[in-house]
Amino acid sequence: MANKKSEEGLTVKKDENFSEWYSQVLDKAEVTDMRYGVKGFIVIRPWGAMAMEKMYSLYEQALQKRGHKPTFFPVVIPEENFKKESEHVKGFAPDVFWLEKIKGESRLALRPTSETAMYQMYSIWIRSWRDLPLKLYQRANVFRYETKATRPLIRGREFYWIETHDVFATKEQAEEQVQEDIRTTEEVMHQKFGVPFLPMKRPIWDKFAGAEYTVAADTLMPDGKILQQPSTHLLGQHFAKAFNVQFKDEQGKEQFAWQTCYGPAISRILASVISTHGDDRGLVMPFCISPVQVVIVPIFNKDNKEKIMKEAEKIKSVLEKQNLSVELDSREEKRPGEKFYEWELKGVPFRIELGEKELKAKKILLSTRDTGKKELVPETKISQIQKLGEQYDERLKAKADHFMDGKTVNCKTKEELKKAVKNHKIARVNFCSVEKPGTRCAEIIEKEVGADVRGTMANKNEKPKAGEKCIICNKPAKEIVYIGKSY
C-alpha cells in the first residue's frame, strides 16, 4: 500500500530539530508505526525488522566466535524465582509486568531480564569444573514498566535484545569476560554499525541491581545527549549463592560460580544507527545491515521495456550471486524521480539506473547515498559493489568518530563544567570517588548542572595526578570521571 506521507519527505532539518527529525524519519521511512495504541509498545515495520535481522545476525556471529551458544528461555518467570536475589528484586520489582490471573497458580513475571529465569537451570546443569565456562545467549524481547516518557526504539515498555549469561570458575575469568564484552561492542557496534562509544565503568550508585559492577557503552546522539548502549555486569557470586550455582573444583570441593551478563539491545542500537548516520534526506543505512543494499531502477518506455528489464534482471542476478540484498524496482505506477526519492529516504547505499543510453554504452549510472555522488561507470563495476560497500561503511564510521572526538572536553572548575554541559559536550573532570563517598558530589552535579556522572573509563587506567582535587568538594581526587546529559 502506498504511504501518502512518505511522499512528502522530511520537513525538518536534522541539526535544527533533531527530535522532530527522528520522529519523522521513523515514520516516513517506514521503520516503525506508533499507532498501536498501547503506551510504550510500538510496531516495527519490515524495513526496521529487516535491518534488525541483519544486526542480530552479525552480533550473534561475534558472540558465537567467542564461544557463546544460543538458547531460548520462557518469557515468564515464577514469582519465587524472581525474588531470590534481594538487590535484584528491589531494583527491578517496580518495572515488572505481572501475570496475575492464572487460576490456582502463583504470579508470573514477564521477564524484564532473564537472570532469575536462567540461573535455576544453570544450578541443574552445572556439576563440575568441567562444565565451565558456560556461555549462553538468547535473542529475546523483554518487558519493563517504564513510567518515564517513552521514545520509539530508545525507551519503550518492550524491547528487543540479546542477553548473554556466562558462568566461570574464577573471578579473574569473569572479569576478563567483562573486557571481552567491551571488545564485542567495539567489533560490532562501532566497527560494523559505525556507532562510537565510551566504555564507562558506572559509579557504585548506578550499577545493575545485583551486580558487583557495571560497564556500559555510552553513545552520543546528535543533540548532544548520551544514550546508553550495551552494558555488561560482573555479577560476582550474588546470583550463584541465591540460585545455588555450584561446581566441584579439581580437588572435589564445592565452589560457588562467578557470573557475568551482557545485553546489547538491538532495537535501541538501531536508534543510534539511524540517529548517527541519517541526514536531511532521510536514513543513511550502513551497507552491512541495510535491508536493501543495491536498488536497480530501470528507466523504460513501452518500446524498450523488454530489453531494459532483461538487462536489469541480469544485473540483479549477478549481484545476488555475491550474496547482496538487491531490489529491482520495476513499479510502473511510480516515476523514476519518485523512486529515487523513496529509496534515498530509506537510506539504501547504492542505486543503479539503467536506461536506453546506458544499455547501449554497456554502462550504468551509479549513485551513492552518503556522498550523493552519481557517476556513469562500466557495467562491470557491479563486481566491486561489496568492496565499495565496505568503503562506504568506513566513511560512515569515520564521520561518526569525528563527531564524537570533538565532544569530550577537560573541565577544571564547576563553571567550566556547566558551560560544557550547556554546549552539549561530555565533560572529563577530576572527582573524589565513584564509591559511596562520591554520592553527594554526584547529587550536586545532578541538581546544579543537570547532568550525570557516567563513570570512569573501563578499558584504560586513567587516574588524576597527585594533588588534583575533586571539582565539587575539593577533596583529593581519586578518579577521572565523565559527565553529561542523558536520555
Binding site for Zn ion (CB under 5 A): 432, 441, 470, 472-473
Instruction: Please check whether residue 227 is in contact with residue 221, taking contact to mean a CB–CB distance below 8 angstroms.
Output: yes
Looking at residue 282, the DSSP 8-state letter turns out to be B
Nearer to Zn ion, 110 or 470 (CB): 470
Cβ 441 to Zn ion, closest distance in Å? 3
Cβ 61 to Zn ion, closest distance in Å? 44
Cβ 479 to Zn ion, closest distance in Å? 10
Amino acid at residue number 451: A
Instruction: Please check whether residue 269 is in contact with residue 275, taking contact to mean a CB–CB distance below 8 angstroms.
Output: no
Q: Residue 363 burial by CB count (10 A; 0-12/13-18/19+): exposed, middle or buried?
A: middle
Sign of the torsion formed by the C-alpha atoms of 424, 425, 426 and 430: negative
Cβ 205 to Zn ion, closest distance in Å? 13
Nearer to Zn ion, 400 or 477 (CB): 477
Nearer to Zn ion, 315 or 470 (CB): 470
Nearer to Zn ion, 382 or 432 (CB): 432
Nearer to Zn ion, 309 or 473 (CB): 473
Nearer to Zn ion, 348 or 432 (CB): 432
14-17 long-range contacts, Cβ below 8 Å, gap at least 24? 14/222, 14/278, 14/279, 14/280, 15/222
Nearest one of 235, 231, 236, 197 to 216, comparing CA atoms: 231
Cβ 486 to Zn ion, closest distance in Å? 20
Cβ 203 to Zn ion, closest distance in Å? 12
Q: If you write DSSP's letter for every residue of 13-30 in order, what string do you get?
A: -TTT-HHHHHHHHHHHTT
Nearer to Zn ion, 91 or 476 (CB): 476
CA angle at 471 for the pair 470 and 472, rounded to the nearest 5°:
90
Instruction: Please check whether residue 296 is in contact with residue 352, taking contact to mean a CB–CB distance below 8 angstroms.
Output: yes
Cβ 430 to Zn ion, closest distance in Å? 9
Quote the CA–CA distance of 267 and 59 in Å, as a whole number.
Answer: 13
Alpha helices in 244-304 (DSSP H): 266-277
Cβ 438 to Zn ion, closest distance in Å? 6
Quote the CA–CA distance of 69 and 65 in Å, as a whole number.
Answer: 9
Distance of CA 388 to the CA centre of its chain: 24
Nearer to Zn ion, 366 or 453 (CB): 453
